[in-house]
């Protein structure tokens, strides 16, 4: 196998992550705009202090060529996340959310990155406990500890564990605009912990048009920014983009035993959402994974192979149900 060492330019990618990387895990469970519909559909006043929810989805990434080689790959991506929320009053809430994600890769090719069959089935387990409280009518504060296990089938559990936390606040400037900063610290598999600022925006441009950071549509649950158009109470349309990074431990019996795999990209997407009622929605999404890159490292995090891939079309759906 031809192994080349490549010093990865992380500074540029960290810049993309700064505002969005942590939002996907947490902000869907936090409410900043008092009286505004949430990202998961119109909100209704709860009849009880306890509520539960489940969200999930699936995305298929079509056959995608690897740059400078005759290899290619496809990917199936699935996620499901149930959770519970306790809100003793309108000023406080405590949530517990479990998540499972599956990313299945199928590589093909000869004398290429694809021929290595570097990994196949990747599993991600997440646990987060968002806590929110408010001060007066305009201030919201939040803290979110999180744990994740991300690894290929057969990977060592302890070597696949990462965790960290996120805290910040948001200020409601007006009925239409909520904005605020935060900071996150997340450990990485065989890499330095990421310490980064976060920007939260919820801007209701018109009665029908809004700009939001946070959860994007799609089964990969990537964080990002989206422009949303509420055509009717039932039908919503979205355009957006996000940064995605999947870093995981490899199987103990893989081509690179206990190595590390990484898949990064910037998906640009369009979506349509239908709200069946105030607590249930379904979405269809399609788009392209831009600036995609695969990376293979040894068990200590030294880069062995790096491979860019062409813009990758994808299509999928997602759902949300609270009860």
CATH assignment at residue 64: 2.40.160
Sign of torsion over alpha carbons 105, 18, 126, 193: positive
Q: Considering the chain, what is the average pLDDT of its residues?
A: 84
Q: Tokens 């936390």 appear where?
A: 165
Q: Does 276 reside within a domain?
A: yes
Please indicate, yes or no, if residue 4 is contained in any of the structural domains.
no
CA distance 306 to 285: 29
Model pLDDT, residue 9: 43
Q: What percent of the chain has pLDDT over 70?
A: 82
The model's pLDDT over 256-313, given as tens digits with 9 standing for 90+, comes to: 999 999 999 999 999 999 999 999 999 999 999 999 999 999 999 999 999 999 999 9
Please count the structural domains in the chain: 1
User: Does residue 233 sit within a domain?
Assistant: yes
> Which two tokens mark 9?
């330019």
Higher pLDDT, 290 or 25: 290
Identify whether 103 is part of a domain. yes
- 226-241 pLDDT per residue, tens: 999 999 999 999 999 9
Mean pLDDT (whole number) for 112-117: 83
Residue 224 pLDDT > 60, yes or no?
yes
Kindly state whether residue 191 falls inside one of the protein's structural domains. yes
Residue 142 domain flag: yes
Asked whether residue 85 is domain-assigned, the answer is yes
Q: How confident is the model at residue 215 (pLDDT cuts 50, 70, 90)?
A: low
Is pLDDT at 193 greater than 60 in this prediction? yes
The model's pLDDT over 134-167, given as tens digits with 9 standing for 90+, comes to 998 999 999 999 999 999 999 999 999 999 988 9
Question: What's the longest Cα–Cα distance across the chain?
Answer: 63
pLDDT tens for each residue of 55-106: 999 999 999 999 877 899 999 999 999 999 999 998 999 999 999 999 999 9
Residue 5 lies in a domain: no
What is the span of the domain harbouring residue 99?
10-322
| pLDDT beyond 60 at 323 | yes
């Amino acid at each position: 196998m031809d192994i080349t060492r490549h010093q990865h330019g992380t500074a540029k990618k960290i810049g993309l992550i700064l505002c969005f990387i942590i939002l996907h895990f947490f902000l869907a469970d936090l409410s900043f705009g008092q009286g505004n519909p949430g990202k998961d559909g119109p909100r209704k006043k709860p009849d009880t202090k306890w509520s539960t929810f489940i969200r999930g989805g699936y995305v298929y990434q079509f056959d995608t060529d690897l740059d400078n080689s005759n290899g290619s790959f496809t990917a199936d991506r699935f996620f499901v996340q149930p959770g519970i929320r306790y809100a003793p009053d309108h000023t406080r809430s405590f949530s517990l959310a479990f998540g499972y994600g599956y990313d299945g890769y199928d590589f093909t090719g000869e004398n290429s990155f694809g021929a290595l069959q570097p990994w196949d089935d990747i599993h991600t387990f997440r646990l987060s406990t968002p806590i929110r409280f408010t001060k007066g009518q305009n201030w919201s504060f939040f803290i979110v500890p999180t744990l994740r296990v991300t690894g290929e089938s057969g990977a060592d559990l302890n070597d696949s564990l990462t965790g960290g936390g996120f805290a910040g606040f948001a200020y409601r400037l007006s009925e239409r605009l909520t904005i605020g900063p935060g900071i996150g610290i997340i450990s990485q598999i065989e890499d330095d912990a990421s310490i980064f600022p976060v920007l939260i925006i919820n801007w209701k441009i018109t009665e029908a048009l809004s700009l939001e950071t946070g959860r994007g549509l799609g089964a990969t649950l990537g964080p990002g920014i989206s422009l949303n158009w509420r055509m009717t109470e039932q039908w919503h349309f979205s355009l957006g983009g996000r940064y995605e990074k999947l870093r995981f431990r490899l199987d103990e019996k893989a081509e690179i035993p206990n190595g590390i795999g990484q898949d990064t990209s910037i998906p640009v997407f369009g979506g349509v959402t239908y709200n069946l009622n105030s607590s249930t929605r379904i979405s269809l999404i399609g788009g392209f994974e831009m600036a995609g890159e695969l990376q293979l490292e040894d068990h200590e995090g030294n880069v062995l192979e790096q491979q860019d891939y062409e813009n990758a079309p994808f299509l999928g759906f997602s759902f949300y149900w609270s009860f």
